[in-house]
Amino acid sequence: MNAPTTSASPPSLRLHLIVLAALLALLLTSAGCALLPLGVFNTLSALGISVIKTLLVMAFFMRLRRGPPLLRIAAAVGFAWLAVLIGMTVADVLTRVVLPSPW
């Protein structure tokens, strides 16, 4: 009952360096966007950039790009569940009514 072995070669150092450069560029973009007075779009741009960084890490460093289908499905379900929880938190914060103090 050994796990099936795969003959896929490990990712090259060049690919890891390219992904690292992309992540660092996105980090600088995120920091630069935080300094711009974009109003509500600051949050939207930060969330968009963080989603791109997350997808890069999931695809390359977690090796989901070449992983078995069940692993991809499990990761997608986990990512979707995280999105649902974040969405529910945002909905709660946006619809909460602040009650004045009675004293």
Question: Residue 89 — pLDDT band, cuts 50, 70, 90?
Answer: very high
Which long-range contacts link 44-50 to residues 24+ away (Cβ below 8 Å)? none
Give mean pLDDT, residues 67-78: 91
Sequence-ordered alpha helix ranges (H) in the chain: 13-35, 41-56, 69-95
User: Could you tell me the residue ranges of all domains in the chain?
Assistant: 12-66, 68-98
Radius of gyration of the chain from its Cα atoms, rounded to whole angstroms: 20
Check: CB of residue 60 under 8 Å from CB of residue 20: no
CB 29 within 8 A of CB 49: yes
Residue with the larger pLDDT of the pair 9 and 77: 77
Say what the pTM is: 0.69
pLDDT tens figures, 25-53: 999 999 999 999 988 889 889 989 999 99
pLDDT score recorded for residue 78: 92
CA distance 41 to 25: 19
